[in-house]
Homo-oligomer: A and B are copies of this chain.
Amino acid sequence: MPDQPQEPRRTPLSRDRVLRAAVAFADAAGIDALSMRRLAQELGVVPMALYKHVANKEELLDGMVEVVFAGIEGQVPGSDWKGAVRGRILGARATLLAHTWAAQVIRSRTSPTPAVLAYLDSVIGMFRAGGLSTDLTHHVMHALGSRVLGFTEELFDNPAGASGAPQDDRAQAAAYEAMARQYPHVTELARSVAHDRRSVVGQGCDDRFEFEFALDLLLDGFGRLHGEGWTSTP
């Protein structure tokens, strides 16, 4: 008799299945909840079984980034370099928004995985195809920084620091007054944002608008330098 397993083990484990399960788990429970032990449990497997398919947790995280980056869209054929880069980066942004943990994991890696390299290669290629020199393209890529991957460090979640324990109206007004005295410019800005968006305080900003505002400002600046024949060593 062949040695079939008695327990109904759904599917044989594979590196791909491990990575996809990890991505799904992080999507659902967050990256902090992801541990080797919990992932194993999710797969109905003993923790050490995972180490057959990934060398360690670092490699698991790298693999998760690979899975995510494999799904990036945004090749816009027939546009100039500015439109091409813009479309590609917004495509990356859309993908990363679908996996809220991904930006954090990418940040924690020190060297890029193949899929990330392939993505970057395609963006660099767009600048080069547009006629930008390797010199300018190099500095341009640095200036984009993590924005080229579709995310940026937003400084805070809420513009006016609306966190904290619930308070009665009087205490809240007093706290607001104290804040306005200590941080007048921050408060002014927060108030104007709330007013502009005709909303309650602390709703937050239009992330997509802010991302495109900065991206277009940078791309326009790149175009201007390119037009002037800019070089780093004059």
**Residue A16 CB within 8 A of the other chain:** no
Are A155's CB and B145's CB within 8 A?
yes
A232 to chain B, nearest CB (A): 7
Are B152's CB and A145's CB within 8 A?
yes
Number of interface residues of A (CB under 8 A): 57
Which residues in B have their C-beta under 8 angstroms from that of A124?
Answer: 185-186, 188-189
The A180-216 residues at the B interface (CB cut-off 8 A) are 182-186, 188-189, 192-193, 196, 205, 209-210, 213-214
A-to-B contact residues, CB < 8 Å: 107, 110-112, 114, 117-118, 120-122, 124-125, 128, 134-135, 137-139, 141-143, 145-146, 148-149, 152-158, 161, 163, 182-186, 188-189, 192-193, 196, 205, 209-210, 213-214, 217-218, 220-222, 225, 232-233
